A and B are shown apart, each in its own frame.
Chain A
Amino acid sequence: MNRILVIAQNTFKEAVRDRILYSLILFAILMIISSLVFSTISAEQYNKIVKDIGLTAISLFGIMISIFLGMSLVHKEIEKRTVFNIFSKPVRRFEFITGKYLGLSFTLFVITFAMGLILFLIVLYVELQHGRFIEYYYGGHYFLEFFSAIYFEFLEFIVVIGIALIFSSFTTPVLAVLMTFLMFAAGRFSSDIKLLGENTNNLLVKIITEFIYRVIPNLEKFDLRSEAVYGGKITFNLIFYTTAYSLIYVFILLILSITIFEKREFK
C-alpha cells in the first residue's frame, strides 16, 4: 500500500510540475472569465451563461487533461526508461499501475475542484448582482446542484483516465489518444448509439451498437449541467449510484490495465 502511495505522490508531483498543465488551467480560467463577457447580453441570461459555459469549460479541460496525461502515464515511463529504476526496486506491477492511476486521479481532483471553486466565486458574484432576476426566472440558486455537477464531472474524468491508462499500457501515445477519444465520444453519445440500434434493420449494426452500449461506460450519466442551471432533483441515491457506477468501471479498467501490463516486457 505504501509503495502505491509513493508512486501516486510522484505522479501528482510530475503533473503539477508539468508546464502543459499550468497552461491548460490558465486557459480554463480564461474561458470562465470570457463567460462573464458573453453574459452582458441580458441580466436574466447572465446566470445561465456563466454556469453553462463555466461547467462546459471545466468538462472540456478536465477531459483534455485526463486523455493527454492519461495516455502518457505508462508509456512515458517505458519510453524514457524510468521503469528500469522502478522495477529494480521491490515494486509489483499492480502497485505501479494503481499508483500511477491514483496519482493522476488526485491531480484531476485538485484541478476540477480548483476550477469549480473559481467558477463558484464568479457565479456567487453574479448572484449577488442579480439575485432578484435569478430567483424570478429560475426559481432558485441551485448551489447543491452546481457542486453535484462538478463532482459528477470529476467522476467522468476518473473513468476517462482509466480508459486512457489501458491504451497507454500497450499502444503508442497517438493511438492511445485516438482510441480514448473514440471511447469517450461513444460514451457521451451512448443513448444516441442505442437509438440507432433500435431504429435499424441491419443486424450487424444492431449487434455493434448493442455491444458498444453495453460495454462502453455511459458518460451521459455524469452530465448534470442542466440541473445546475435550471434545478432538478439531486437525490442521495443518484449521487450514490453514479459514484458506484464510476468506481465499478474504474475497477474493471484498472484490472484490465494491470493484466495487460503484467505481460509487458521492458527491453
Chain B
Amino acid sequence: MLNVDNLIIDYSTGFLGKKSRVLKGVNFSVNDGEIFGFIGPNGAGKTTTFKSILGFITQVSGSISIFGKSNSDVELKSKIGYLPESPYFYDYLTGNELLQYMAKLHGVEQPILSKRIEDLLHKVGMSHAKDVQLRKYSKGMLQRIGIAQALVNDPDFLILDEPMSGLDPRGRREIHELILEQKKRGKTILLSSHILSDIESLCDRVGVIINGVVVKTGILADLFREIKTDYEMLLNCDKQTLLNNIDSNTVSIDERAGFLILRFDESDKSHLLKLLLDLNAEIVSMYPLRKSLEGLFIEESEKTNNY
C-alpha cells in the first residue's frame, strides 16, 4: 500500500545553504490493513519521512508510492489522514470550526459534515469543548482535536506522527482504542513514536529508523529477541565476600537501603546464581530489566555508526 524506496533527503542549513543528509536511503513498506510503527530516537528522521510521504519536502532521490500511485498526485490526499507532530492549529477557531474547515477542504458536504464532526468530537472526547477557541486548549486537547481532524475525511490511510504525545494515561488508552477501531474497519495506519509502550501493543510490524536509515523492520517481539536481556537482583549478603568472588567487570554492584543491587546480563545468570547459592546469600528479588527502546536504539546506533 505504501512503498518508500531508497528515499534520500537533504536539508540545507545556514546562510550558505550547506547541505546535510537527513534521510540516507530509507526503505520500508506498509501493507494494506496493518498498523505499522515507525520508531526511532529523536532526530532519527521519522517526521522527515512522513513529511516527504505527504509531499511537503522534495527528495534528492528515491520514490514513494501510495495505493500504487506516486505521492505527487494531490488527489491521493483525499484518502489520507495526517496528524502532524505537536499539532498547531488556528487558535482563533473553535474545535468545531477547525473540523468544519478541514472537512470542507476535503470536499465533505452537508449533511454528512455535521454528523461526522459530531461523531468525531464524541470519539476523541472533545464534545464539551467544541465551542471553545483553540487558544484555550491544553496540549492534550490539541492532540485529540488533531486526531479528529485527521479522521474528518474517513481516510483509508492514516499517518499519525507521535499520536500519544501530550496525553495522560486515560487519553493514551482512548487513542489506543480509537486506532485499533480504525484497523478493525480495514484502515491502514502508519504511526511514529519514541516510546515503546505506545507501540508494542498496537503495531503489527515496526520499522526502526536510526540516523536516517531504517535499520530493521519486522515484528517487534522478534526485534527484541535479538537484544541481550539485563537482570537486576536485590541481595542480602556481605559485600566484601561478594567482591572477592565475582568479576566486577561483568557484574555491577551498588548498595541501596541496606541491600546490595547486582546488575548482570543473560550470559552471567546461571554462573552467578550458582555462586550465590554456594555463598548462602539471601536473594530478595530478581527480575529481568525492561528491554528498552533506548537499548535497541543504542545497540543499533553502535552497529550503524558506519552509515
Taking Cβ atoms with an 8 Å cutoff, the residues of A that contact B are: 2-3, 6-7, 10, 13-14, 17-18, 80-92, 265-267
Which chain B residues border A13 with CB–CB below 8 Å? 92-93, 97
B261: interface (CB < 8 Å): no
Which A-B residue pairs are the 7 nearest by beta carbons?
A88-B82, A266-B56, A89-B105, A17-B92, A84-B84, A90-B77, A6-B104
Which chain A residues border B11 with CB–CB below 8 Å? 267
B211: interface (CB < 8 Å): no
- Determine if B57 and A265 form an interchain contact, defined as CB atoms under 8 angstroms apart: yes
Which chain A residues border B58 with CB–CB below 8 Å? 265
* Chain A residue, CB-CB nearest to B79: A90
* Chain B residue, CB-CB nearest to A99: B105
* Chain A residue, CB-CB nearest to B159: A88
- Indicate which residue in A82, A84, A89 contacts B106 across the interface (CB closer than 8 Å): A89
- Determine if B51 and A14 form an interchain contact, defined as CB atoms under 8 angstroms apart: no
Q: How many angstroms from the CA of A91 to the CA of B56 in the assembled complex?
A: 12
B101: interface (CB < 8 Å): yes
Which chain B residues border A3 with CB–CB below 8 Å? 104-105, 107
* Chain B residue, CB-CB nearest to A6: B104
- Determine if A90 and B105 form an interchain contact, defined as CB atoms under 8 angstroms apart: yes
- Indicate which residue in B57, B74, B105, B149 contacts A266 across the interface (CB closer than 8 Å): B57
Q: How many angstroms from the CA of A90 to the CA of B78 in the assembled complex?
A: 6
- Determine if B56 and A89 form an interchain contact, defined as CB atoms under 8 angstroms apart: no
Q: How many angstroms from the CA of A83 to the CA of B84 in the assembled complex?
A: 10
- Determine if A90 and B89 form an interchain contact, defined as CB atoms under 8 angstroms apart: no
Q: How many angstroms from the CA of A9 to the CA of B92 in the assembled complex?
A: 13
B interface secondary structure, majority: mixed
Closest Cβ–Cβ distance, residue B188 to chain A (whole Å)? 16
Closest Cβ–Cβ distance, residue A107 to chain B (whole Å)? 13
Q: How many angstroms from the CA of A2 to the CA of B48 in the assembled complex?
A: 30
Taking Cβ atoms with an 8 Å cutoff, the residues of B that contact A are: 11, 48, 51, 54-58, 74-78, 80-82, 84, 87-90, 92-93, 97, 101-102, 104-107, 149, 153, 159
- Indicate which residue in A6, A7, A85, A265 contacts B87 across the interface (CB closer than 8 Å): A85
Closest Cβ–Cβ distance, residue A34 to chain B (whole Å)? 31
If A10-B90, A82-B89 touch, whether A87 touches B55 (CB-CB below 8 Å) is: yes
Which chain B residues border A266 with CB–CB below 8 Å? 51, 56-57
Which chain B residues border A267 with CB–CB below 8 Å? 11, 48, 51, 56-57
Which chain B residues border A83 with CB–CB below 8 Å? 56
Q: How many angstroms from the CA of A6 to the CA of B109 in the assembled complex?
A: 12
Closest Cβ–Cβ distance, residue A7 to chain B (whole Å)? 8
If A6-B104, A90-B75 touch, whether A14 touches B84 (CB-CB below 8 Å) is: no
Closest Cβ–Cβ distance, residue A204 to chain B (whole Å)? 29
Given known contacts A3-B107, A81-B88, what 9 new A-B pairs fall within 8 Å (CB)? A3-B104, A6-B101, A6-B105, A7-B105, A82-B89, A87-B55, A88-B159, A91-B105, A267-B57
- Indicate which residue in A6, A17, A85 contacts B84 across the interface (CB closer than 8 Å): A85
- Indicate which residue in A2, A81, A89, A265 contacts B77 across the interface (CB closer than 8 Å): A89
Q: How many angstroms from the CA of A88 to the CA of B83 in the assembled complex?
A: 9
Closest Cβ–Cβ distance, residue A89 to chain B (whole Å)? 4
Q: How many angstroms from the CA of A86 to the CA of B89 in the assembled complex?
A: 10
- Determine if B57 and A2 form an interchain contact, defined as CB atoms under 8 angstroms apart: no
- Determine if B54 and A88 form an interchain contact, defined as CB atoms under 8 angstroms apart: yes
- Determine if A87 and B54 form an interchain contact, defined as CB atoms under 8 angstroms apart: yes
Which chain A residues border B93 with CB–CB below 8 Å? 10, 13
Which chain A residues border B76 with CB–CB below 8 Å? 90
Q: How many angstroms from the CA of A6 to the CA of B90 in the assembled complex?
A: 14
Which chain A residues border B106 with CB–CB below 8 Å? 89-90
- Indicate which residue in B74, B81, B92 contacts A91 across the interface (CB closer than 8 Å): B74
Which chain B residues border A84 with CB–CB below 8 Å? 51, 54, 56, 82, 84, 87
